[in-house]
Structure 1
Protein backbone atom coordinates (compact mmCIF):
# COMPACT_ATOMS: atom_id res chain seq x y z
CA UNK A 1 0.00 0.00 0.00
CA UNK A 2 1.45 3.34 -1.00
CA UNK A 3 2.09 6.16 1.43
CA UNK A 4 0.37 9.55 0.95
CA UNK A 5 3.08 12.20 1.15
CA UNK A 6 1.38 15.11 -0.61
CA UNK A 7 -2.15 16.40 -1.07
CA UNK A 8 -3.38 19.25 -3.23
CA UNK A 9 -7.16 19.36 -2.86
CA UNK A 10 -9.52 22.15 -3.88
CA UNK A 11 -12.39 22.01 -1.41
CA UNK A 12 -15.54 24.22 -1.56
CA UNK A 13 -14.93 27.48 0.32
CA UNK A 14 -11.17 26.83 0.51
CA UNK A 15 -9.25 30.00 1.39
CA UNK A 16 -5.75 28.59 1.74
CA UNK A 17 -3.73 25.46 2.43
CA UNK A 18 -0.75 25.00 4.73
CA UNK A 19 1.62 22.08 4.17
CA UNK A 20 3.30 21.31 7.50
CA UNK A 21 5.85 18.66 8.36
CA UNK A 22 3.17 15.97 8.50
CA UNK A 23 -0.24 17.63 8.14
CA UNK A 24 -1.85 19.45 5.23
CA UNK A 25 -4.31 21.95 6.67
CA UNK A 26 -7.06 23.43 4.50
CA UNK A 27 -8.76 26.65 5.63
CA UNK A 28 -12.46 26.67 4.78
CA UNK A 29 -13.96 30.20 4.81
CA UNK A 30 -11.81 31.14 7.85
CA UNK A 31 -14.32 29.15 9.90
CA UNK A 32 -13.21 25.54 9.69
CA UNK A 33 -10.03 23.57 9.12
CA UNK A 34 -9.73 20.30 7.22
CA UNK A 35 -6.61 18.59 8.57
CA UNK A 36 -5.30 15.77 6.40
CA UNK A 37 -2.73 13.70 8.30
CA UNK A 38 -0.34 12.46 5.62
CA UNK A 39 2.13 9.59 5.86
CA UNK A 40 5.08 11.98 5.87
CA UNK A 41 7.57 11.50 8.69
CA UNK A 42 9.94 14.10 10.10
CA UNK A 43 12.87 13.90 12.47
CA UNK A 44 15.30 16.61 13.61
CA UNK A 45 12.81 19.03 11.98
CA UNK A 46 13.56 17.48 8.56
CA UNK A 47 10.90 15.79 6.44
CA UNK A 48 12.32 12.42 5.44
CA UNK A 49 12.22 11.51 1.72
CA UNK A 50 9.79 8.58 2.00
CA UNK A 51 6.44 8.20 3.73
CA UNK A 52 5.28 5.47 6.13
CA UNK A 53 2.10 3.56 5.10
CA UNK A 54 -0.78 3.86 7.60
CA UNK A 55 1.10 6.40 9.73
CA UNK A 56 -1.39 9.16 8.91
CA UNK A 57 -4.34 6.96 9.82
CA UNK A 58 -2.66 5.92 13.09
CA UNK A 59 -1.93 9.51 14.12
CA UNK A 60 -5.36 10.82 13.15
CA UNK A 61 -7.25 8.09 14.96
CA UNK A 62 -5.15 8.24 18.14
CA UNK A 63 -5.55 12.03 18.26
CA UNK A 64 -9.31 11.69 17.74
CA UNK A 65 -9.60 9.20 20.59
CA UNK A 66 -7.70 11.46 22.99
CA UNK A 67 -9.48 14.64 21.91
CA UNK A 68 -12.74 12.91 22.83
CA UNK A 69 -11.25 11.58 26.10
CA UNK A 70 -10.11 15.03 27.28
CA UNK A 71 -12.94 17.27 26.06
CA UNK A 72 -14.12 17.72 29.66
CA UNK A 73 -10.78 19.34 30.60
CA UNK A 74 -10.51 21.92 27.82
CA UNK A 75 -12.63 22.59 24.69
CA UNK A 76 -10.93 21.27 21.56
CA UNK A 77 -11.09 22.11 17.89
CA UNK A 78 -12.49 18.79 16.62
CA UNK A 79 -15.93 18.64 14.99
CA UNK A 80 -15.72 15.29 13.17
CA UNK A 81 -13.45 12.78 11.42
CA UNK A 82 -15.04 12.09 8.03
CA UNK A 83 -12.12 9.94 6.82
CA UNK A 84 -9.55 7.75 8.63
CA UNK A 85 -6.84 10.30 7.72
CA UNK A 86 -8.84 13.50 8.25
CA UNK A 87 -10.19 15.64 11.07
CA UNK A 88 -12.44 18.66 10.47
CA UNK A 89 -12.59 21.27 13.20
CA UNK A 90 -12.88 24.89 14.24
CA UNK A 91 -10.50 27.47 12.81
CA UNK A 92 -8.57 28.96 15.75
CA UNK A 93 -5.79 31.53 15.90
CA UNK A 94 -2.87 29.47 17.23
CA UNK A 95 -0.61 30.65 20.03
CA UNK A 96 3.00 30.98 18.84
CA UNK A 97 4.31 28.55 21.46
CA UNK A 98 4.06 24.81 22.02
CA UNK A 99 3.49 23.57 25.55
CA UNK A 100 5.97 20.75 26.14
CA UNK A 101 5.47 18.81 29.38
CA UNK A 102 7.92 16.26 30.75
CA UNK A 103 7.49 13.67 33.45
CA UNK A 104 10.94 12.12 33.02
CA UNK A 105 14.50 13.22 32.24
CA UNK A 106 14.67 11.78 28.73
CA UNK A 107 15.49 12.80 25.15
CA UNK A 108 16.26 16.51 24.62
CA UNK A 109 16.03 17.21 28.36
CA UNK A 110 18.58 14.49 29.12
CA UNK A 111 20.94 15.68 26.36
CA UNK A 112 20.84 19.20 27.84
CA UNK A 113 21.30 17.84 31.38
CA UNK A 114 24.21 15.61 30.34
CA UNK A 115 25.94 18.65 28.81
CA UNK A 116 25.93 20.26 32.26
CA UNK A 117 22.81 22.41 32.18
CA UNK A 118 20.73 22.46 35.35
CA UNK A 119 17.94 24.63 34.01
CA UNK A 120 15.62 24.04 31.07
CA UNK A 121 13.34 26.84 29.81
CA UNK A 122 13.88 28.61 33.12
CA UNK A 123 12.87 25.52 35.12
CA UNK A 124 15.57 24.43 37.62
CA UNK A 125 16.52 20.74 37.42
CA UNK A 126 17.59 18.71 40.49
CA UNK A 127 21.20 17.61 40.84
CA UNK A 128 22.37 13.99 40.50
CA UNK A 129 19.57 12.82 38.23
CA UNK A 130 19.97 9.85 35.90
CA UNK A 131 18.67 9.30 32.39
CA UNK A 132 14.97 8.32 32.30
CA UNK A 133 14.49 9.28 35.97
CA UNK A 134 11.05 10.56 36.95
CA UNK A 135 10.88 14.22 37.95
CA UNK A 136 9.43 14.98 41.42
CA UNK A 137 6.52 16.49 39.47
CA UNK A 138 6.00 17.14 35.73
CA UNK A 139 7.74 20.21 34.32
CA UNK A 140 6.62 22.50 31.49
CA UNK A 141 9.37 23.40 28.99
CA UNK A 142 7.77 25.44 26.19
CA UNK A 143 9.20 25.97 22.73
CA UNK A 144 8.64 28.62 20.12
CA UNK A 145 6.60 27.42 17.16
CA UNK A 146 8.93 27.88 14.21
CA UNK A 147 7.51 28.34 10.71
CA UNK A 148 10.73 26.84 9.40
CA UNK A 149 13.72 25.12 10.99
CA UNK A 150 14.06 24.25 14.64
CA UNK A 151 11.70 25.09 17.47
CA UNK A 152 13.62 26.88 20.23
CA UNK A 153 13.37 26.43 23.99
CA UNK A 154 11.85 29.46 25.71
CA UNK A 155 10.94 30.30 29.29
CA UNK A 156 7.58 31.33 30.72
CA UNK A 157 9.02 34.76 31.53
CA UNK A 158 10.30 35.29 27.96
CA UNK A 159 6.95 34.24 26.46
CA UNK A 160 5.09 36.82 28.54
CA UNK A 161 7.76 39.54 28.15
CA UNK A 162 7.74 39.15 24.33
CA UNK A 163 3.96 39.30 24.27
CA UNK A 164 3.66 35.89 22.62
CA UNK A 165 0.96 34.99 25.17
CA UNK A 166 -0.63 37.20 27.83
CA UNK A 167 0.05 36.26 31.45
CA UNK A 168 -3.62 35.43 32.06
CA UNK A 169 -3.77 33.16 29.00
CA UNK A 170 -0.43 31.56 29.85
CA UNK A 171 -1.63 30.67 33.33
CA UNK A 172 -4.59 28.89 31.72
CA UNK A 173 -2.32 27.10 29.23
CA UNK A 174 -0.19 25.80 32.10
CA UNK A 175 -3.27 24.62 33.97
CA UNK A 176 -4.69 22.84 30.91
CA UNK A 177 -1.29 21.33 30.04
CA UNK A 178 -0.80 19.73 33.45
CA UNK A 179 -4.41 18.46 33.57
CA UNK A 180 -4.15 16.94 30.08
CA UNK A 181 -0.83 15.29 30.95
CA UNK A 182 -2.33 13.85 34.13
CA UNK A 183 -5.26 12.40 32.15
CA UNK A 184 -2.90 11.01 29.50
CA UNK A 185 -0.73 9.48 32.22
CA UNK A 186 -3.73 7.75 33.80
CA UNK A 187 -4.94 6.33 30.46
CA UNK A 188 -1.44 5.15 29.53
CA UNK A 189 -0.98 3.44 32.89
CA UNK A 190 -4.16 1.42 32.38
CA UNK A 191 -2.65 0.19 29.11
CA UNK A 192 0.69 -0.74 30.73
CA UNK A 193 2.50 2.32 29.44
CA UNK A 194 4.18 5.43 30.87
CA UNK A 195 3.49 8.78 29.17
CA UNK A 196 7.00 10.20 29.41
CA UNK A 197 6.62 13.56 27.70
CA UNK A 198 4.37 15.24 25.16
CA UNK A 199 3.44 18.59 23.68
CA UNK A 200 0.16 20.44 23.30
CA UNK A 201 -0.85 23.26 21.00
CA UNK A 202 -3.58 25.75 21.79
CA UNK A 203 -5.43 28.45 19.89
CA UNK A 204 -8.20 30.98 20.39
CA UNK A 205 -11.61 31.42 18.79
CA UNK A 206 -14.07 34.11 19.85
CA UNK A 207 -11.89 34.84 22.89
CA UNK A 208 -11.96 31.24 24.09
CA UNK A 209 -8.96 28.90 24.37
CA UNK A 210 -9.13 25.60 22.48
CA UNK A 211 -6.81 22.60 22.35
CA UNK A 212 -5.82 22.23 18.69
CA UNK A 213 -3.86 19.87 16.44
CA UNK A 214 -2.91 16.39 17.68
CA UNK A 215 -2.70 14.95 21.19
CA UNK A 216 -0.86 11.96 22.71
CA UNK A 217 0.26 10.52 19.36
CA UNK A 218 3.72 8.93 18.87
CA UNK A 219 4.74 12.02 16.87
CA UNK A 220 4.05 14.38 19.77
CA UNK A 221 4.63 12.02 22.71
CA UNK A 222 7.03 9.47 24.10
CA UNK A 223 5.87 6.31 25.85
CA UNK A 224 7.79 3.74 27.91
CA UNK A 225 6.53 0.28 28.75
CA UNK A 226 5.58 0.24 32.43
CA UNK A 227 6.60 -3.38 32.86
CA UNK A 228 10.33 -3.51 33.51
CA UNK A 229 10.79 0.27 33.83
CA UNK A 230 12.16 0.17 37.40
CA UNK A 231 14.46 -2.77 36.74
CA UNK A 232 15.91 -1.19 33.61
CA UNK A 233 16.30 2.17 35.35
CA UNK A 234 18.16 0.64 38.31
CA UNK A 235 20.53 -1.16 35.92
CA UNK A 236 21.06 1.97 33.82
CA UNK A 237 19.66 0.21 30.76
CA UNK A 238 17.73 1.78 27.90
CA UNK A 239 13.98 1.77 28.35
CA UNK A 240 11.64 -0.04 25.99
CA UNK A 241 9.76 2.77 24.35
CA UNK A 242 7.05 3.38 21.83
CA UNK A 243 7.78 6.69 20.16
CA UNK A 244 9.51 8.20 17.18
CA UNK A 245 12.79 8.14 19.12
CA UNK A 246 13.86 4.88 17.47
CA UNK A 247 13.70 6.67 14.08
CA UNK A 248 15.96 9.44 15.45
CA UNK A 249 18.33 6.80 16.86
CA UNK A 250 18.47 5.01 13.49
CA UNK A 251 19.26 8.30 11.76
CA UNK A 252 21.97 9.19 14.30
CA UNK A 253 23.51 5.71 13.98
CA UNK A 254 23.67 6.36 10.23
CA UNK A 255 25.33 9.76 10.63
CA UNK A 256 22.35 12.08 10.33
CA UNK A 257 21.16 14.65 12.89
CA UNK A 258 19.63 17.24 10.59
CA UNK A 259 22.83 19.29 10.42
CA UNK A 260 24.01 21.15 7.37
CA UNK A 261 25.83 18.97 4.86
CA UNK A 262 24.41 15.71 6.21
CA UNK A 263 22.46 13.35 3.96
CA UNK A 264 19.46 11.30 5.03
CA UNK A 265 20.43 7.60 4.88
CA UNK A 266 18.56 5.35 2.46
CA UNK A 267 15.17 4.30 3.79
CA UNK A 268 14.91 0.68 2.66
CA UNK A 269 11.53 -1.05 2.18
CA UNK A 270 12.37 -3.20 5.22
CA UNK A 271 13.00 -0.13 7.39
CA UNK A 272 9.81 1.56 6.17
CA UNK A 273 7.77 -1.56 7.00
CA UNK A 274 9.40 -1.74 10.44
CA UNK A 275 8.46 1.89 11.17
CA UNK A 276 4.90 1.30 9.92
CA UNK A 277 4.56 -1.73 12.20
CA UNK A 278 5.85 0.28 15.18
CA UNK A 279 3.18 2.93 14.61
CA UNK A 280 0.46 0.27 14.39
CA UNK A 281 1.84 -1.38 17.55
CA UNK A 282 1.57 1.89 19.44
CA UNK A 283 -1.97 2.46 18.19
CA UNK A 284 -3.08 -0.93 19.50
CA UNK A 285 -1.12 -0.61 22.73
CA UNK A 286 -2.31 2.88 23.68
CA UNK A 287 -5.94 2.54 22.53
CA UNK A 288 -6.54 -1.12 23.34
CA UNK A 289 -8.26 -1.40 19.94
CA UNK A 290 -7.22 -3.56 17.02
CA UNK A 291 -5.99 -1.40 14.15
CA UNK A 292 -8.20 -1.67 11.07
CA UNK A 293 -6.21 -0.77 7.95
CA UNK A 294 -8.32 1.57 5.85
CA UNK A 295 -7.93 -0.38 2.64
CA UNK A 296 -9.86 1.06 -0.22
CA UNK A 297 -10.77 -0.23 -3.65
CA UNK A 298 -10.32 3.30 -4.93
CA UNK A 299 -7.36 5.65 -4.83
CA UNK A 300 -6.74 6.95 -1.28
CA UNK A 301 -6.65 10.58 -2.40
CA UNK A 302 -9.99 10.14 -4.21
CA UNK A 303 -11.47 8.56 -1.08
CA UNK A 304 -10.32 11.46 1.11
CA UNK A 305 -11.62 14.07 -1.33
CA UNK A 306 -15.01 12.37 -1.64
CA UNK A 307 -15.43 11.93 2.14
CA UNK A 308 -14.42 15.50 2.97
CA UNK A 309 -16.59 17.09 0.28
CA UNK A 310 -19.61 15.06 1.40
CA UNK A 311 -19.05 16.16 5.01
CA UNK A 312 -18.60 19.84 4.14
CA UNK A 313 -21.82 19.78 2.13
CA UNK A 314 -23.65 18.31 5.14
CA UNK A 315 -22.50 21.05 7.52
Structure 2
Protein backbone atom coordinates (compact mmCIF):
# COMPACT_ATOMS: atom_id res chain seq x y z
CA UNK A 1 0.00 0.00 0.00
CA UNK A 2 1.07 3.57 -0.73
CA UNK A 3 1.50 6.01 2.14
CA UNK A 4 -1.42 8.20 3.20
CA UNK A 5 -1.48 11.45 5.22
CA UNK A 6 -4.03 11.01 8.00
CA UNK A 7 -2.93 13.70 10.47
CA UNK A 8 -0.91 16.90 10.63
CA UNK A 9 0.56 18.88 13.50
CA UNK A 10 2.18 22.02 12.14
CA UNK A 11 3.31 25.14 13.97
CA UNK A 12 3.63 27.76 11.24
CA UNK A 13 5.05 31.26 11.93
CA UNK A 14 2.36 33.64 13.23
CA UNK A 15 -0.09 30.77 13.58
CA UNK A 16 -3.07 31.88 15.66
CA UNK A 17 -5.46 28.94 15.43
CA UNK A 18 -5.93 25.46 14.02
CA UNK A 19 -9.07 23.52 13.14
CA UNK A 20 -9.00 19.78 12.51
CA UNK A 21 -11.97 18.83 10.37
CA UNK A 22 -13.14 15.48 9.08
CA UNK A 23 -10.84 15.72 6.07
CA UNK A 24 -9.16 19.16 6.13
CA UNK A 25 -6.75 20.63 8.67
CA UNK A 26 -6.98 24.42 8.63
CA UNK A 27 -4.25 26.60 10.10
CA UNK A 28 -4.98 30.30 10.67
CA UNK A 29 -2.09 32.72 10.18
CA UNK A 30 -2.21 36.17 11.82
CA UNK A 31 -6.02 35.84 11.93
CA UNK A 32 -5.91 36.90 8.28
CA UNK A 33 -4.80 33.94 6.17
CA UNK A 34 -5.63 30.24 6.18
CA UNK A 35 -3.51 27.24 5.25
CA UNK A 36 -5.83 24.40 4.27
CA UNK A 37 -4.13 21.00 4.20
CA UNK A 38 -6.28 18.36 2.53
CA UNK A 39 -5.48 15.07 4.24
CA UNK A 40 -6.05 11.56 2.88
CA UNK A 41 -8.72 10.93 5.52
CA UNK A 42 -12.12 9.86 4.23
CA UNK A 43 -15.47 10.36 5.92
CA UNK A 44 -18.97 9.06 5.32
CA UNK A 45 -22.16 9.58 7.30
CA UNK A 46 -20.20 12.25 9.22
CA UNK A 47 -17.78 9.59 10.51
CA UNK A 48 -14.05 9.56 9.72
CA UNK A 49 -13.16 6.07 8.54
CA UNK A 50 -10.17 4.31 10.13
CA UNK A 51 -7.84 4.24 7.10
CA UNK A 52 -6.60 6.98 4.81
CA UNK A 53 -6.86 6.82 1.01
CA UNK A 54 -3.53 7.43 -0.79
CA UNK A 55 -3.55 10.47 -3.11
CA UNK A 56 -7.11 11.41 -2.14
CA UNK A 57 -5.96 14.70 -0.60
CA UNK A 58 -3.99 15.59 -3.71
CA UNK A 59 -6.97 14.80 -5.93
CA UNK A 60 -9.37 16.91 -3.87
CA UNK A 61 -7.02 19.87 -3.52
CA UNK A 62 -6.04 19.99 -7.18
CA UNK A 63 -9.60 19.63 -8.49
CA UNK A 64 -10.86 22.32 -6.12
CA UNK A 65 -7.98 24.61 -7.04
CA UNK A 66 -8.75 24.23 -10.75
CA UNK A 67 -12.45 24.98 -10.28
CA UNK A 68 -11.83 27.92 -7.96
CA UNK A 69 -9.74 29.45 -10.74
CA UNK A 70 -12.39 28.62 -13.36
CA UNK A 71 -15.22 30.27 -11.40
CA UNK A 72 -13.36 33.30 -10.04
CA UNK A 73 -15.12 35.58 -12.53
CA UNK A 74 -18.51 34.39 -11.26
CA UNK A 75 -17.86 34.84 -7.55
CA UNK A 76 -14.74 35.93 -5.64
CA UNK A 77 -13.15 33.08 -3.71
CA UNK A 78 -10.74 32.66 -0.83
CA UNK A 79 -7.81 31.12 -2.73
CA UNK A 80 -4.47 32.92 -3.01
CA UNK A 81 -2.31 29.99 -4.20
CA UNK A 82 -1.79 26.23 -3.93
CA UNK A 83 1.90 25.85 -3.04
CA UNK A 84 1.64 22.08 -2.54
CA UNK A 85 -0.46 19.39 -4.23
CA UNK A 86 -2.25 18.88 -0.89
CA UNK A 87 -2.45 22.45 0.41
CA UNK A 88 -4.03 25.79 -0.48
CA UNK A 89 -3.42 29.16 1.15
CA UNK A 90 -6.12 31.79 1.10
CA UNK A 91 -7.89 34.63 2.82
CA UNK A 92 -9.63 33.99 6.11
CA UNK A 93 -13.39 34.55 5.85
CA UNK A 94 -16.14 34.28 8.45
CA UNK A 95 -18.15 31.28 7.23
CA UNK A 96 -21.92 31.23 6.99
CA UNK A 97 -23.44 28.50 9.16
CA UNK A 98 -25.21 26.89 6.21
CA UNK A 99 -24.09 24.84 3.22
CA UNK A 100 -25.74 25.41 -0.14
CA UNK A 101 -26.67 22.05 -1.63
CA UNK A 102 -27.77 22.15 -5.28
CA UNK A 103 -29.34 19.16 -6.99
CA UNK A 104 -30.13 18.62 -10.67
CA UNK A 105 -31.17 14.96 -10.33
CA UNK A 106 -33.17 12.91 -7.81
CA UNK A 107 -30.65 10.57 -6.22
CA UNK A 108 -28.63 9.85 -3.09
CA UNK A 109 -30.18 11.00 0.18
CA UNK A 110 -32.87 12.93 -1.71
CA UNK A 111 -33.99 9.73 -3.45
CA UNK A 112 -33.93 7.77 -0.18
CA UNK A 113 -36.17 10.43 1.36
CA UNK A 114 -38.43 10.51 -1.70
CA UNK A 115 -38.73 6.71 -1.77
CA UNK A 116 -39.92 6.75 1.84
CA UNK A 117 -42.81 9.02 0.85
CA UNK A 118 -41.48 12.52 1.38
CA UNK A 119 -42.38 15.01 -1.32
CA UNK A 120 -40.63 18.04 0.09
CA UNK A 121 -36.93 18.69 0.73
CA UNK A 122 -35.90 21.80 2.63
CA UNK A 123 -39.17 23.48 1.75
CA UNK A 124 -38.84 22.59 -1.96
CA UNK A 125 -41.78 20.62 -3.38
CA UNK A 126 -40.90 17.50 -5.37
CA UNK A 127 -43.51 16.21 -7.87
CA UNK A 128 -45.03 12.74 -7.64
CA UNK A 129 -44.11 10.06 -10.15
CA UNK A 130 -40.37 10.67 -10.34
CA UNK A 131 -37.90 7.80 -10.53
CA UNK A 132 -34.38 7.43 -9.17
CA UNK A 133 -31.76 9.52 -11.03
CA UNK A 134 -34.38 11.48 -12.98
CA UNK A 135 -33.49 15.06 -13.84
CA UNK A 136 -35.41 17.88 -12.19
CA UNK A 137 -36.97 20.47 -14.53
CA UNK A 138 -34.50 22.98 -13.07
CA UNK A 139 -31.82 22.54 -10.38
CA UNK A 140 -33.10 22.92 -6.82
CA UNK A 141 -31.30 24.29 -3.75
CA UNK A 142 -31.68 22.24 -0.57
CA UNK A 143 -29.49 23.84 2.11
CA UNK A 144 -28.26 22.22 5.30
CA UNK A 145 -26.95 23.55 8.58
CA UNK A 146 -23.18 23.38 8.91
CA UNK A 147 -22.68 21.23 11.98
CA UNK A 148 -19.71 21.21 14.31
CA UNK A 149 -17.51 18.13 14.20
CA UNK A 150 -19.26 15.11 15.69
CA UNK A 151 -22.74 16.34 14.78
CA UNK A 152 -24.85 15.75 11.71
CA UNK A 153 -25.73 18.47 9.21
CA UNK A 154 -29.50 18.97 9.12
CA UNK A 155 -31.79 19.93 6.25
CA UNK A 156 -33.24 23.40 6.61
CA UNK A 157 -35.45 25.62 4.45
CA UNK A 158 -34.58 29.01 3.04
CA UNK A 159 -37.38 30.53 5.11
CA UNK A 160 -36.07 29.03 8.35
CA UNK A 161 -32.50 30.15 7.63
CA UNK A 162 -33.69 33.74 7.23
CA UNK A 163 -36.14 33.56 10.16
CA UNK A 164 -33.41 32.29 12.48
CA UNK A 165 -31.09 35.09 11.41
CA UNK A 166 -28.48 32.61 10.16
CA UNK A 167 -28.23 34.55 6.89
CA UNK A 168 -29.93 37.81 6.01
CA UNK A 169 -32.51 37.82 3.22
CA UNK A 170 -30.23 40.04 1.14
CA UNK A 171 -27.20 37.78 1.58
CA UNK A 172 -29.23 34.63 0.98
CA UNK A 173 -30.47 35.97 -2.34
CA UNK A 174 -26.86 36.48 -3.38
CA UNK A 175 -25.88 32.99 -2.14
CA UNK A 176 -28.66 31.50 -4.30
CA UNK A 177 -27.52 33.50 -7.32
CA UNK A 178 -23.89 32.47 -6.87
CA UNK A 179 -24.83 28.82 -6.21
CA UNK A 180 -26.83 28.43 -9.42
CA UNK A 181 -24.22 30.29 -11.50
CA UNK A 182 -21.30 28.20 -10.23
CA UNK A 183 -23.33 25.02 -10.71
CA UNK A 184 -24.10 26.02 -14.30
CA UNK A 185 -20.38 26.55 -14.96
CA UNK A 186 -19.52 23.21 -13.35
CA UNK A 187 -22.23 21.50 -15.40
CA UNK A 188 -20.81 22.97 -18.59
CA UNK A 189 -17.26 21.93 -17.73
CA UNK A 190 -18.38 18.40 -16.82
CA UNK A 191 -20.35 18.04 -20.08
CA UNK A 192 -17.22 18.93 -22.04
CA UNK A 193 -15.61 15.83 -20.50
CA UNK A 194 -18.60 13.49 -21.03
CA UNK A 195 -19.82 13.78 -17.44
CA UNK A 196 -22.98 15.00 -15.74
CA UNK A 197 -22.64 17.13 -12.59
CA UNK A 198 -25.52 15.66 -10.60
CA UNK A 199 -25.37 17.53 -7.31
CA UNK A 200 -22.87 19.36 -5.15
CA UNK A 201 -22.41 21.64 -2.17
CA UNK A 202 -20.91 25.09 -1.79
CA UNK A 203 -19.77 26.97 1.28
CA UNK A 204 -19.52 30.73 1.51
CA UNK A 205 -18.11 33.24 3.97
CA UNK A 206 -17.74 36.98 4.45
CA UNK A 207 -14.63 39.13 4.58
CA UNK A 208 -14.84 42.89 5.09
CA UNK A 209 -18.55 42.74 4.27
CA UNK A 210 -18.06 40.90 0.94
CA UNK A 211 -19.21 37.34 0.18
CA UNK A 212 -16.58 34.82 -0.93
CA UNK A 213 -16.75 31.21 -2.05
CA UNK A 214 -14.71 29.13 0.38
CA UNK A 215 -13.52 25.53 0.87
CA UNK A 216 -13.59 22.98 -1.97
CA UNK A 217 -15.83 22.84 -5.03
CA UNK A 218 -16.74 20.16 -7.57
CA UNK A 219 -14.63 17.41 -5.99
CA UNK A 220 -15.79 13.80 -5.57
CA UNK A 221 -16.21 14.49 -1.85
CA UNK A 222 -18.56 17.41 -2.39
CA UNK A 223 -20.17 16.39 -5.68
CA UNK A 224 -21.69 13.51 -7.58
CA UNK A 225 -21.00 12.85 -11.25
CA UNK A 226 -22.67 10.49 -13.74
CA UNK A 227 -21.22 9.38 -17.06
CA UNK A 228 -23.29 11.11 -19.77
CA UNK A 229 -22.95 8.17 -22.15
CA UNK A 230 -25.63 5.61 -21.36
CA UNK A 231 -27.50 7.82 -18.89
CA UNK A 232 -30.83 7.79 -20.76
CA UNK A 233 -30.75 4.04 -21.43
CA UNK A 234 -29.96 3.17 -17.81
CA UNK A 235 -32.68 5.54 -16.61
CA UNK A 236 -35.21 3.93 -18.94
CA UNK A 237 -34.27 0.46 -17.69
CA UNK A 238 -34.33 1.55 -14.05
CA UNK A 239 -30.73 0.44 -13.61
CA UNK A 240 -28.03 2.16 -11.48
CA UNK A 241 -26.12 4.94 -13.20
CA UNK A 242 -22.39 4.74 -13.78
CA UNK A 243 -21.10 7.36 -11.41
CA UNK A 244 -17.96 8.84 -9.98
CA UNK A 245 -18.44 10.20 -6.47
CA UNK A 246 -18.06 9.18 -2.87
CA UNK A 247 -21.50 7.58 -3.02
CA UNK A 248 -19.95 4.18 -3.79
CA UNK A 249 -18.19 4.34 -0.40
CA UNK A 250 -21.51 5.09 1.33
CA UNK A 251 -23.14 2.23 -0.55
CA UNK A 252 -20.35 -0.14 0.49
CA UNK A 253 -20.80 0.90 4.11
CA UNK A 254 -24.58 0.43 3.95
CA UNK A 255 -24.17 -3.00 2.36
CA UNK A 256 -21.98 -3.88 5.34
CA UNK A 257 -24.46 -2.62 7.92
CA UNK A 258 -23.04 0.83 8.68
CA UNK A 259 -24.85 4.17 8.39
CA UNK A 260 -23.12 6.08 11.17
CA UNK A 261 -25.73 5.21 13.76
CA UNK A 262 -24.96 4.55 17.40
CA UNK A 263 -23.77 1.01 18.07
CA UNK A 264 -22.80 0.33 14.45
CA UNK A 265 -19.23 -0.72 13.64
CA UNK A 266 -17.27 0.44 10.61
CA UNK A 267 -16.58 -2.65 8.45
CA UNK A 268 -12.98 -3.71 7.86
CA UNK A 269 -11.27 -1.67 5.16
CA UNK A 270 -9.01 -4.15 3.40
CA UNK A 271 -5.92 -3.01 1.49
CA UNK A 272 -7.68 -4.02 -1.73
CA UNK A 273 -10.70 -1.86 -0.89
CA UNK A 274 -8.52 1.12 0.04
CA UNK A 275 -6.60 0.75 -3.24
CA UNK A 276 -9.86 0.59 -5.21
CA UNK A 277 -11.08 3.81 -3.58
CA UNK A 278 -7.79 5.52 -4.38
CA UNK A 279 -8.07 4.49 -8.01
CA UNK A 280 -11.64 5.80 -8.21
CA UNK A 281 -10.52 9.21 -6.96
CA UNK A 282 -7.68 9.30 -9.50
CA UNK A 283 -10.09 8.24 -12.26
CA UNK A 284 -12.42 11.12 -11.51
CA UNK A 285 -9.53 13.57 -11.49
CA UNK A 286 -8.41 12.46 -14.94
CA UNK A 287 -11.94 12.57 -16.33
CA UNK A 288 -13.05 15.92 -14.95
CA UNK A 289 -9.71 17.69 -15.41
CA UNK A 290 -8.92 15.97 -18.70
CA UNK A 291 -5.25 15.41 -17.86
CA UNK A 292 -3.22 12.49 -16.49
CA UNK A 293 -2.89 12.48 -12.71
CA UNK A 294 0.73 13.01 -11.64
CA UNK A 295 1.39 11.43 -8.25
CA UNK A 296 3.28 13.74 -5.90
CA UNK A 297 6.31 12.38 -3.98
CA UNK A 298 5.26 10.51 -0.84
CA UNK A 299 8.60 9.83 0.87
CA UNK A 300 7.86 12.46 3.53
CA UNK A 301 4.53 14.12 2.86
CA UNK A 302 4.38 16.25 6.06
CA UNK A 303 7.85 17.73 5.44
CA UNK A 304 7.12 18.37 1.77
CA UNK A 305 3.93 20.26 2.63
CA UNK A 306 5.63 22.25 5.38
CA UNK A 307 8.49 23.38 3.15
CA UNK A 308 6.17 24.40 0.32
CA UNK A 309 3.80 26.27 2.64
CA UNK A 310 6.63 28.09 4.45
CA UNK A 311 8.09 29.26 1.14
CA UNK A 312 4.80 30.89 0.20
CA UNK A 313 4.00 32.29 3.64
CA UNK A 314 7.35 34.07 3.63
CA UNK A 315 6.18 36.02 0.57
CA UNK A 316 2.80 37.11 1.98
TM-score between the two structures when normalised by the length of structure 2: 0.99
Distance 2:277 2:103 in 1: 24
Gaps of 5+ in 1: none
2:172 aligns to what? 170
Distance 1:277 1:225 in 2: 17
Encode CA deviations 1:187-213: one digit per residue, 9 max, x unaligned: 000100000000000000000000000
* Selected match of 1:290 from 284, 289, 292: 292
Task: Tell me the matched-pair count.
Answer: 314
SS across alignment from 1:100: strand
Q: CA deviation at 1:295?
A: 1.5
1:89-104 matches, within 5 Å, as 89-104=90-105
2:205 aligns to what? 203
Encode CA deviations 1:204-232: one digit per residue, 9 max, x unaligned: 00000000000000000000000000000
Q: Which moved more, 1:54-63 or 1:252-261?
A: 252-261
TM-score between the two structures when normalised by the length of structure 1: 0.99
Encode CA deviations 1:107-135: one digit per residue, 9 max, x unaligned: 01101111111110000001100000000
Distance 2:37 2:129 in 1: 44
1:145 aligns to what? 146
Distance 2:151 2:57 in 1: 22
Q: CA deviation at 1:249?
A: 0.7
2:262 aligns to what? 260
Distance 2:31 2:171 in 1: 23
Q: CA deviation at 1:310?
A: 1.1
Encode CA deviations 1:158-190: one digit per residue, 9 max, x unaligned: 000000000000000000000000000000001
Q: CA deviation at 1:314?
A: 1.3
2:236 aligns to what? 234
1:106 aligns to what? 107
Runs of 4+ in 1 over 2 A off after TM superposition: none
1:76 aligns to what? 77
1:24 aligns to what? 25
Distance 2:116 2:254 in 1: 18
SS across alignment from 1:153: coil
Distance 2:129 2:301 in 1: 51
